[in-house]
Every structure is written in structure tokens, then in C-alpha cells.
């Protein structure tokens, strides 16, 4: 079979598969699923409506993607916060005092709290974005962080003992200066809808009691 014939056959098979898919979609009413609320955002009502239209066995998937009580607690932190930062890149030394502000919004249909932080990092502008959510299927929190000081994306792992008021994570990152892997732990303390705190330590594997705090950010609602 020539290359031209093979291309034509592949195109024909793709066309048939596409036709079957759209026929089955129309037959089972799947077209009606993709209709979000008038605001353009998926709501809990939207997700519950979808659950009644999905094929059998998919209800648990929709339930895992529906905001729960942990997400509602995170939503209390939506708004603008002033940030007072204590930072050190030299454990054991007095930290530097920095300031900035954070704007929190709920994204991904109310499943993640997005924090957009801006401020000054010594003599230059600093911009960072974090996501914090709760994985209902796994039963644990998840968070990521990126910022303008590096090309890395930091993904943190829930330690397993987190609560809505005290969310604990660990991670491993490559030190861009020394070039080696280092362990860190992060604690997010939710003190109320108007106040929350983020702390981070450099972990000492040999002696956990000697962990060095490298970051302490207190957020207060503006």
C-alpha cells in the first residue's frame, strides 16, 4: 500500500470513529453536560447536574471534583492581604524584613485557592503564584508554588496530619546555588478569615529538632 493510500485510510478511519462518537453523544444526551452557569464558572449545582447525566459508575468521579467543606474553608481566605515577610537565605542569621501583598481567588470551579503575591525582593520586583487545594479522592491537601526568582516549580506533599487550620507539607528542591537536593517543610496556619501565616524550614535529616526557619510570612486582610 502506498503512503498516499495509508494516509487516506487513516483519515477515513478517523472520520468513522468521530461519527460514532458524536452519534453516541447525541443519543445519550451528553451534549447537555457542557453548560456552565451564566457567570461562566462551574458551580456545585452544575456539578450535581452533570452527575445525573454521566454514564453509570462516573458519580464518584464527579463527587471527587465537587468542592467540599475543606474547599469552603479555603474560600474564606478570598480577598487582598498585606504580607509581612521574614526571609533568610543564610540559616542562623537574622532574617531580612520584606513587605508585599497577596490577592487570593478561588479557581478551577472552587477547588483551588490561588495566591498571587507581588512585592519587592530587595532591589527588584518579585512575583509569585501558589495553588492550595484539597484532593477529595486522596483525602489530603496539595499545593504548588512558582515565582520570578527561579525557573523551578515546587510541589509540596501533605504530611498526612493536616487539618483545615494547620496544613503541613514537605518537599525536595534543588538549591540553585549549591546544586544539591535539599528537603523543606512548610506549615500554613489559618488563624481566621482575616489572617493566615506561611512558615518554611530547611530540614536537617540527621537532627529534625535543628531545622532552620528560612521563611515566615504573616498575612492580614487589607
Q: Give the model confidence (pLDDT) of 61-103 as tens digits.
A: 777 888 999 999 999 999 999 999 999 877 677 888 999 999 9
Cβ burial 188-217 (10 Å sphere, 16+ → b, else e) = bebeeeeebebbbbbbeeeeeeebeebbbb
- 113-134 pLDDT, tens digit per residue, is 999 999 988 888 999 999 999 9
Mean pLDDT of 160-182: 89
Indicate whether this model's pTM tops 0.75.
no
Q: Which helix (H) or strand (E) holds 191?
A: strand 181-192
| CB-based contacts of 29, cutoff 8 Å, min separation 6 | 53
Closest listed residue to residue 171, CA positions, set 180, 158, 161, 162:
158
pLDDT for 173: 87
Closest listed residue to residue 168, CA positions, set 199, 211, 203, 196:
199
Strand partners, 116: 103, 129
Amino acid at each position: 500500500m502506498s503512503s498516499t493510500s495509508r494516509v487516506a485510510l487513516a483519515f477515513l478511519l478517523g472520520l468513522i470513529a468521530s461519527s460514532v462518537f458524536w452519534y453516541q453523544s447525541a443519543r445519550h444526551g451528553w451534549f447537555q453536560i457542557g453548560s456552565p452557569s451564566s457567570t461562566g464558572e462551574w458551580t456545585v449545582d452544575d456539578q450535581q447536574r452533570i452527575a445525573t447525566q454521566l454514564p453509570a459508575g462516573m458519580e464518584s468521579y464527579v463527587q471527587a471534583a465537587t468542592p467540599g467543606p475543606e474547599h469552603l474553608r479555603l474560600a474564606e481566605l478570598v480577598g487582598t492581604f498585606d504580607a509581612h515577610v521574614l526571609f533568610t537565605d543564610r540559616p542562623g542569621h537574622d532574617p531580612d524584613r520584606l513587605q508585599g501583598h497577596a490577592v487570593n481567588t478561588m479557581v478551577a470551579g472552587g477547588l483551588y485557592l490561588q495566591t498571587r503575591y507581588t512585592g519587592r525582593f530587595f532591589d527588584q520586583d518579585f512575583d509569585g503564584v501558589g495553588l492550595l487545594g484539597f484532593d477529595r479522592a486522596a483525602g489530603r491537601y496539595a499545593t504548588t508554588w512558582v515565582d520570578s526568582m527561579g525557573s523551578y516549580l515546587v510541589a509540596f506533599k501533605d504530611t498526612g496530619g493536616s487539618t483545615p487550620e494547620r496544613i503541613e507539607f514537605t518537599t525536595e528542591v534543588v538549591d540553585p546555588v549549591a546544586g544539591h537536593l535539599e528537603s523543606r517543610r512548610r506549615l500554613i496556619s489559618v488563624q481566621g478569615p482575616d489572617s493566615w501565616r506561611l512558615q518554611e524550614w530547611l530540614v536537617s535529616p540527621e537532627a529534625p529538632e535543628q531545622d532552620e526557619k528560612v521563611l515566615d510570612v504573616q498575612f492580614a486582610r487589607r
